[in-house]
Every structure is written in structure tokens, then in C-alpha cells.
Amino acid sequence: MPELPEVEALAAFLRENAVGRVVARADLAAVQAIKTFDPPLSALAGLEVTGASRHGKFLDLDVSGLHLVVHLARAGWLHWRTGLPAAPPKPGKGPLALRVHLDDGNGFDLTEQGTRKGLSVYVVRSPAEVPGVDRLGPDALEVDRDTFARLMASRSGQVKGALTDQTLLAGIGNAYSDEILHVARLSPFKMADKLGDDEVVRLHDAVRAVLTDALQRQVGQRAATLKGEKRSGLQVHARTGLPCPVCGDTVREVSFADTSLQYCPTCQTGGKPLADRRMSKLLR
Ligand SMILES: [Zn+2]
């Protein structure tokens, strides 16, 4: 799932390439993707793109005061297209959800892979009208240490869940929370409200460091790799069974019904593997 660094890189790309252009038309290919009807999608046509920004993991294209807000969900992405075909796409076929044509013949496609469709598009007069945007906590890149400490202390649940709860802190998902906890040398199962002062400081520093690094990589490579979501520099996320780049221990996994987390036992849990029935079979 695209998280803060990926969505910010998309916004930066759109600021350079779409702002100043006029929307020629928007073709909806996946009817279920659009969640609003007033103003209609067609209201964007003829209006100039005046800005592109991000609210947590939501992308916000400002079109002369109307906002095209996008949540990419698990497998959504934005593909920049040069020289779009004039013929409208066939609805309901393939990954295409929405195509936006700009007046210079370029534009972008919003796509979503897989059968579980979660990509959401909203046309609103204010981003705050979008469900989810109105309830976002402070942005993970902006939150200061005191506020961060207060948020963690308010949360009687596991720190992994606290970091990824968008109403508490906006922008972090499954991948970067694994990375942040690894850098902070904290177990994902540690209770957020039981963190010591030094642990909160480490965690806040790790949030900054991991997101800033990822953002720099994403923005640096965006022109070349806007073809698909690509991440590099991950140390534990999606690296089950591989050596931890810090200590050499084997990265382990805890799997849940429809997600999983990765961590390094030596760096994060005092060498002790976290309980996971499926993994203990694999690693026996
Ligand atoms: Zn390690």
C-alpha cells in the first residue's frame, strides 16, 4: 500500500507536471471507485489544476477550488501518461479505475491491481468532506516530540497498531511501521502507553528518519519509476528469512488473517521470536 513517502512523491510529481494544465476530461472506468456524485466528475473539465498535496495517505489534486481526492488503498497507483488515446477506455476491464486527460494531451491513469477493489475517488469542494480525511491525526512527518509522546501515552494497545492508526497519526502503514520499529529497536507488540521516555524519543526519531529517507529516495527516482510503486532500502519489511542488515539475525514474520509484520528478534525483541504458529512451522 502506498504510504506517506509514495503519496508525497506522487503529489510532488503532479505539482511539476499537472499544475498549470487544464483538465480536458475525466473518464471513469471502474464505476465503484467514485464515492461522490455532487459535484459530478464532469465538473472538473475546463478547470485548471492549481495544486497537488497530500493528507496522510490521501492524494489531493486542487482543480480551481474543486478537489479530486484519491485513496490508493492496497494496490492502487497513479501512472503518468504522455499522449493519451482520445477514445474512452472500456469500463470494467483491467486495472484502470480513472483516466484524467489534460489539455496538452498528457494525463494520468489511476489503476488498481487484484480483485479486492478499494481505490476510492472523491470530487469535493473541501478535502475535509472526504470520510477519513476529516478524522486524520497529525501528520507523521510534522508531529513534534511532545505531541507524539502524548499520542502514544493515550493509546492502550500495541505500538504497531498505534503507528498505523490514521486517526492517531497520519501517513504510516504496514511497511514503514515495520521499518520504524526496527530502527527504534522496539517490539511491535510493546504497548504504546507503556513506552519509557527514552523509547518514545527513539521511536519519534525513527519515524522522522525512516520517512525522510524514504521520501528522498521516492522523490529522487519518481520520474523513472512512476510506472509502479517501488520501494528500496527496506531492512525488515517483506524480508522474511533474509538477514537483518544491522545484526545478521534472520528477519522473522508474524502473520495475521490478511496481513503480516516483519521484525528482527536480535534488534527488537531481545532475541526472542514472537509467537506465530505458521512461522514456527516454517523455521523449525
Ligand atoms: Zn537485527
Distance 268 CA to ligand 1 centre (A): 7
Minimum mean pLDDT among 5-14, 32-41, 84-93, 184-193: which range?
84-93
Q: Which three cell numbers stand for residue 168?
A: 492517531
Gap from CA of 202 to ligand 1 centroid (Å): 16
Quick one: pLDDT at residue 257? 82
Q: Are 8 and 220 in contact (CB under 8 A)?
A: no
- The pLDDT of residue 115 is 84
Under a CB-based contact definition with an 8 Å cutoff, are residues 97 and 119 in contact? yes
pLDDT above 60 for 212: yes
Of the chain, the percentage scoring pLDDT greater than 70 comes to 93
Question: What confidence score (pLDDT) does residue 148 get?
Answer: 98
For ligand 1, an ion, list residues with CB under 5 A: 244, 246-247, 249, 264, 266-267
Which amino acid does the sequence have at 60?
Answer: D
Mean pLDDT of 29-46: 96
pLDDT higher than 50, residue 28: yes
pLDDT value at 84 more than 70: yes
**pLDDT value for 231:** 76
Given a cut of 80, whether residue 280 has pLDDT beyond it is no
Whether 284 has a pLDDT exceeding 50, the answer reads no
Nearest to 61 by CA among 76, 77, 42, 48: 48
DSSP codes joined into one string, 180-233: HHHHTT--TTSBGGG--HHHHHHHHHHHHHHHHHHHHHHHHHHHHHTTS-----
CA-nearest of 62, 22, 15 to 222 is 15
pLDDT per residue over 113-126, tens digit each? 988 889 999 999 99
Cα(278) to ligand 1 centroid in Å equals 21
In this predicted model, what pLDDT tens digit does every residue of 223-261 receive, in sequence order? Answer: 556 666 667 789 999 999 999 999 999 999 999 888 899
Ligand 1 centroid to residue 21 C-alpha, Å: 48
pLDDT exceeds cutoff 60 at 279: no
| Residue 139 alpha carbon to ligand 1 centre in Å | 28
Lowest mean pLDDT among 34-43, 95-104, 252-261: 252-261
Residues 6 or more apart whose CB falls under 8 angstroms from that of 20 comprise: 48, 49
